[in-house]
Each structure stands twice: as C-alpha cells, then as structure tokens.
Amino acid sequence: MSRLIVISNRVSVPKAAGAAGAQGGLAVALNSALREHRGIWFGWSGQETEEFTGHLNMQRIEGVTTATIDLEPQDIDEYYNGYANRTLWPLFHYRIDLTEYDRNFGEGYERVNARFADSVLPLIEPDDLVWVHDYHLLPLGSMLRQKGVKNRTGLFLHTPWPPTRLLVSLPFHERLVSSMLEYDVIGFQTQEWLESFIHYVSKELGLPITEDGTIDYGGRRIIARAFPIGIDFAEFVEGANSAEAREAHDRLKASVRGRKLMIGVDRLDYSKGLGERFESFGRFLTDNPGQAGDVVLLQIAPPSRGDVASYQQIREDLERKTGHINGAHADVAFVPIRYVNRGYPRSHLAGFYRAADIGLVTPLRDGMNLVAKEFVAAQDPEDPGVLILSQFAGAALQLADALLVNPHSTEHVSETIKRALEMPLAERRQRHEKLLASVCDEDVQHWREEFVAALFGQAEGGGADDTG
C-alpha cells in the first residue's frame, strides 16, 4: 500500500471521541481517513513565528505522523485571513459582494503555497501519494512539480466551485485555475461543482475534455470527478449510543419540557444561512400563533474566523435578530431561540441531534454539509426526527428524502417547519430509512477509498479504479 501524504491548511491532531471543541468538517473526515492509512499529515500549526524558518515540528499521535510549520503574521494576514478567507471563500460561496481583491493577498497566497511546497518536499518519498485539501492550497501541486516532485498528486476541494461568470471576476483567475492542472486527480463534492469546473476549463482555458470526462492538458490526462464526502458513520453511531450522549439528550429533553425541538449546528459563517434561518423561524412564530409557545430552536454556532470583518458582522447581525425575535415571541416561561456561541463534544452533539424533532440545515451555499448527515445518523429509527435541508447544500443531491427548501424564502421554510411538525410517524420512518441508507453506505471510508483509488489507479498507469 502506498503511503499517503495529506496536506491541508491546518493539521488537526486526532481527538478523543468525547473531546470538546469545534473541529471543522475537514478535520473530522481526515482524522478518520488517516487512522487507517500509514502516512503523514502536513500543514500549518496555527502558530505564529516572527521569521519563517520552515522548521518541521513532527509528532506521532494515535498512529498518525503530523508535521507542521509556523507562519509569519504577514503570511497569516495575507494568505489565511486574506486570499483564502476574504477572497476565495466568499467567491466560491457565490458571495461576490463580500469578495475582496487585494494584490497583497494574492502575493501572500502564492508565497505561503511556496513555503508549504519547500517544507513538505523532504518528507515526500518516490512511491507516496500526495493528497492536497481545499481552497487554501490550489497552486501547491504545480509548485511541487516545479520542485521536481513526480509523484501522483490529487486535490480535493471541500467547497463549491462557482459558476464561470462569477469566477471570471477574480483577477488572474486563469493563472489560479491553470495552476490546478498539475494535479493528476481533482475531486469535487458534487456533480454540480464538477460541471462548473469543467465549464470553466473548456470555455475559459479552451482545453479539450475527452469522452470519458478527463481533461486533456498538453497530452496529460487529468481526472476530474465528484467524490461526495461522508461522515464516519460507525464512529458517530457509537458516540450517539454512549452514556454522555444519553445524558446530553436527557438534559436537553428535560429542559424543553414537552415542547417540540428544532436544532441547528453550524460554524458561525455567513454561508450557513443563519440569519435567514432565524427570520424564517420568526415568520413561523408570527404565522402560527397557536403553536408559538410549543417550538424551541436550539442553534449551536461556535465562532470561526473571528479576525475577518464579515464574520464579526454576522455575529452582530445574529445577536440582533435573536434579540428581536425572542423579544417579540418570548413569554415569562419560554424563549423561542436558544442561541449558543460555543462548541460541544461530539458525543453531546449526537445526543442533542437525537433529542430534536427537526434538524434545520439551511445553508445558502455549502460544498457538502456534514451536519445534515450527522443529524440523520443520530436519530432513533423507531421515532426519527425530520431533516429540513437547503437545496443549495451539496448534501441535497444525496439526501433527496429530506424536506428540501429554498433557504432564501422565509415563507417556504416557515411552511416546511409546519409540515415537518405535523408529519405522521409512518412518513418520518419511510424518509428516515432512505436517508440512513445513504449516510451509512456513502460514509467517509467510502469517500477516502474512492479518492485514493482514483489517485492510485493513475499511478498504476491505467486509471483502473476510475469507476463511477
């Protein structure tokens, strides 16, 4: 078996099952992948250093070797807070109104990608497969090639890929996308993002796409494919059956005192549609005065990217909206929105999901969305809750038996909440069964195996495993 070198912006050390903290979806998925694969996970430590040295901090934790570097404050400003999170993240989530273009960000992004390439280079051995993750590191593959790396390299993008008409608003977009074409495999969450990418490559770069869907780049064939990410189903179900999960479940159930419970769990991010979600719930309360005291929304939203102004803005916005809606609909013994700005251990989350009658997952745009899948996995199959899911989450393509909504329409979401609350048990079970089958079969192991097979298949010289 070839060794795997995983490269991502941050390296997140595996955590014990019950550990607290808001690990992002990427961290959760990669911990699980690396547990089974011998290999190294390389990335930024999250620490600052006055002057970049490229010194590798190596650690071995639970069978995974991690190698990290520290970055200079200017790197963090321009690459991480700048180009990655003020330029690419909003653009890739269709928010050109929030997208900032600054020459220094672009230069910082390229400088840090080059620093990543220089630092990881001595760790790469001839037979290793190199698997790069996400929008922070799009040009890394081409920088590794320039430094003589001949290994098979792949990129998986966790975010959406924007339509060509939006992407062309990015200065130097051709340079950025061309740099991605040094990877052998480029993976997207869904067919939709893949099609947008292919559209760009063919229309803007004029490259031929072969009949089997590969990109012909100067005679080299690049596999571009959808690999929908999943959750670690077995681990999650085990956590959901733990004593801590049961205790968290019972505590939350007792606190709502027989009322119906809706749950949302999201990093505090404008792409997650939290403001629209709160407004939709406010509308439901206004439109259904008879039910207003009977439904509680628990929104868990651990802060993220707090150094970026648009994230400070969303936080203020949500505080205002929560205050407004609670002010209008609360009673002496009842507050409709419980808005919590902190993270919980995963096992507690599982208990909370299970206690909820409705999972409200309404991003305006999301590469995949793992919360939707976790909500399904945590339900009691005999008496399952209902998943309300945005049609704009990548997950909607696999979870078509959820109640799909347009998160921009407060009217639609409000009516769907009503429908979910009234859904008969037989329909809930029927929908849940189908959702569960998808979440269980297309789990994170499946995702990793498919990606590595595509990467390795090429290494063997035939694209042998490029099925589906």
We find the least distance from the C-beta atom of residue 270 to ligand GDG, in angstroms, to be: 11
- Kindly tell me which of 175 and 251 has the beta carbon lying closer to ligand GDG: 251
5, 120 Cβ separation under 8 angstroms: yes
CA distance 118 to 131: 16
- 3-state SS class at 179: helix
- Kindly tell me which of 351 and 367 has the beta carbon lying closer to ligand GDG: 367
What is the residue-wise DSSP string for 254-295?
Answer: HHHTT-EEEEEE--B-GGG-HHHHHHHHHHHHHH-TTTGGGE
Catalytic residues: 158, 366
We find the least distance from the C-beta atom of residue 379 to ligand GDG, in angstroms, to be: 15
- Residue 139 C-alpha from the chain's centroid: 20
The one-letter code for the residue type at 248 is A
Q: How many CB atoms lie within 10 A of CB 151?
A: 18
- Kindly tell me which of 14 and 343 has the beta carbon lying closer to ligand GDG: 343
Q: Where are the alpha helices (DSSP H) in 330-422?
A: 346-355, 370-378, 410-422
What phi and psi, each to the nearest 5 degrees, are found at residue 266? Answer: -150, 145
We find the least distance from the C-beta atom of residue 190 to ligand GDG, in angstroms, to be: 10
We find the least distance from the C-beta atom of residue 30 to ligand GDG, in angstroms, to be: 9
Q: Interface with ligand GDG by CB under 6 A: which residues?
A: 21-26, 28-29, 158-159, 229, 265, 267, 300, 302, 343-346, 349, 366-371, 374
28, 14 Cβ separation under 8 angstroms: no
- Kindly tell me which of 11 and 26 has the beta carbon lying closer to ligand GDG: 26
CA distance 451 to 468: 12
We find the least distance from the C-beta atom of residue 189 to ligand GDG, in angstroms, to be: 7
Distances (CA, A) of 334 to 211, 257, 295, 337: 60, 10, 10, 9
We find the least distance from the C-beta atom of residue 265 to ligand GDG, in angstroms, to be: 5
Chain position whose Cβ is nearest to ligand GDG: 25
- Kindly tell me which of 142 and 398 has the beta carbon lying closer to ligand GDG: 398
- Kindly tell me which of 293 and 302 has the beta carbon lying closer to ligand GDG: 302
CA distance 260 to 432: 18
